[in-house]
Structure formats: structure tokens, C-alpha cells
Amino acid sequence: MKIIAVIPARYASTRFHAKLLKDLGGKTVILRTYEAAEKSDLFDDVFVVTDSDLIYKEITSKGGKAIMSIKEHESGSDRIAEAVENMKVDLVVNVQGDEPFINTVALEKLIEVFDSSKSRNDKEDYVDLASLMFEITEEVEINNPNNVKVVVDQNGFALYFSRSVIPYPRDKNAGVRYMQHIGIYAFRKQALMDFYNLPMKSLEATEKLEQLRYLEFGKRIKMVETSEKSIGIDTIEDLEKARKLF
């Protein structure tokens, strides 16, 4: 099975200006992420896919592999699908460009899901894509719409993702666990290409969550629980914390 990592790296000048090009221990955030993915030894190849000439040059000038997006895209899945469309790969792992502290243990668990997944004919066990989640217990985190929640069935397949509180705690003594989604995915290439050719429907448009497109069209998302929250760089404060870690 050929496995590659793709790091979508959009240049967002309106939100924490050019955060992927900020310095982190003598190298940019995006370069740190790229190198961490390579050093994990989990992938046959690693690519950055971007709409930015600056990010493209930053990676290629340091000997890395980058792909320029040709089209404008609504989601990271769309951007990745365009990049890998003509590649001969089996599994594509989406690594976030602003998360240079890659959790290799969690990524290994994602990949292992596909080793145990059965054939397409066995619909009960077949996995189209896999993603990560972790338990949250603080009420402020549970109610925060920026924290995407996920509920799963008894076999760990996603039933729904939402920015709202799910499940709603009508009975607070029911002992439910609240799980927050981490936006790191491992896709079968076919599932990714199917997504690319499917239209956005009402659930995705309402919640602004691309993973809902997969569910609306019957794709099976296996959720893997992890005990460690990923360390992303979304603010200046996050960047300062990351610099201290380095």
C-alpha cells in the first residue's frame, strides 16, 4: 500500500497574516511541518499543496516537494484531491500545515485502520476515510462552536459532526462522553476523488464542515480516539508557545 502525506497550505493574509511563514526556531512553520512529516517515516512521499508562490518557493528552495493549486477551492479535501488526482497512491494522509508537532502515534493509528479494514463488499467494516477525536470535559469547550464535536456508533464510525453540542444533554446523568474532532484525515484515494466530484449539500453548507459531505453521500468515516490534543498555531500566543517548545 502506497501512502503519502499531503499538507494543504493556503496563504491566508486576513487571519494571523502569513502564519505558515512565521519563524519557528530558525525555520518557517510550514517547513517545520513538512520536515516533521518526512522524519516520521510513515509515508512513501510528502507534498505541500498551496495557492501561494511564497509557500511554494519556501518548500522547493529547501529541497522539498510542493504542488501549486490550479483552481480555487472551498475545502482542504478539494485542494488535496486536485493535487493527487493523477498520482498512483492508495492512501492519502492530510497533515495540517500549522501543526509542526506531528503526533506520529496518532497517525500510525489512523493508518492501521486501513490494514484491518475489509473489502468494499463488506460494508460493515469497510473504511473510506479515518480521522481523530479526543474527549473534552470542560463545559466551555463543549459549548464552543469552534470546537467541532462528533458522535459515533458502537463500532467507532462517525454518525454526525457539529459545531453545536451533540448529543444534547437533556439528561445530564446519562454519562455521555463529548468528543472533539481533530481535522487530520487519512483517505482512500477513491473516497477523496469521489468527494471532489460531488456537490456541496445543505448540511456542509450550514455547518461549514467538509466532512459532512462524505457522510451525506454515504462514505464511512472511522474515528480513532487519541489522548493528546494536537498543537496548532492559530494565534500569536500559539506561536510563542511553539517557540518555547522548540
CATH superfamily entry for domain 1-103? Spore Coat Polysaccharide Biosynthesis Protein SpsA; Chain A (3.90.550.10)
CATH superfamily entry for domain 126-229? Spore Coat Polysaccharide Biosynthesis Protein SpsA; Chain A (3.90.550.10)
Which residues lie below 8 Å from residue 220, measured CB to CB, with a gap of 6+?
A: 123, 126, 127, 128, 129, 157
Q: What would the pLDDT profile of 129-159 be if each residue is shown by its tens digit? A: 999 999 999 999 999 998 999 999 999 999 9
User: Does residue 222 register a pLDDT over 70?
Assistant: yes
Q: Would you say 34 and 64 are in contact if contact means Cβ atoms under 8 Å apart?
A: yes
User: How confident is the model over 87-116, as a mean pLDDT?
Assistant: 90
Q: Cα–Cα distance between 234 and 242 in angstroms, integer?
A: 11
Provide the pLDDT for residue 41.
93
Grid coordinates representing 148 are 467541532
User: Does residue 207 register a pLDDT over 80?
Assistant: yes
Provide the pLDDT for residue 75.
77
Q: Which residue has the higher pLDDT, 73 or 80?
A: 80
* pLDDT-wise least confident of 80-94, 114-128, 179-193: 114-128
Ranges for all domains in the chain classified under CATH 3.90.550.10: 1-103, 126-229
User: Does residue 120 register a pLDDT over 60?
Assistant: no
pTM of the model: 0.87
User: Does residue 14 register a pLDDT over 80?
Assistant: no
Environment class of 167 (CB within 10 Å of its CB; exposed 0-12, middle 13-18, buried 19+): middle
Provide the pLDDT for residue 180.
95
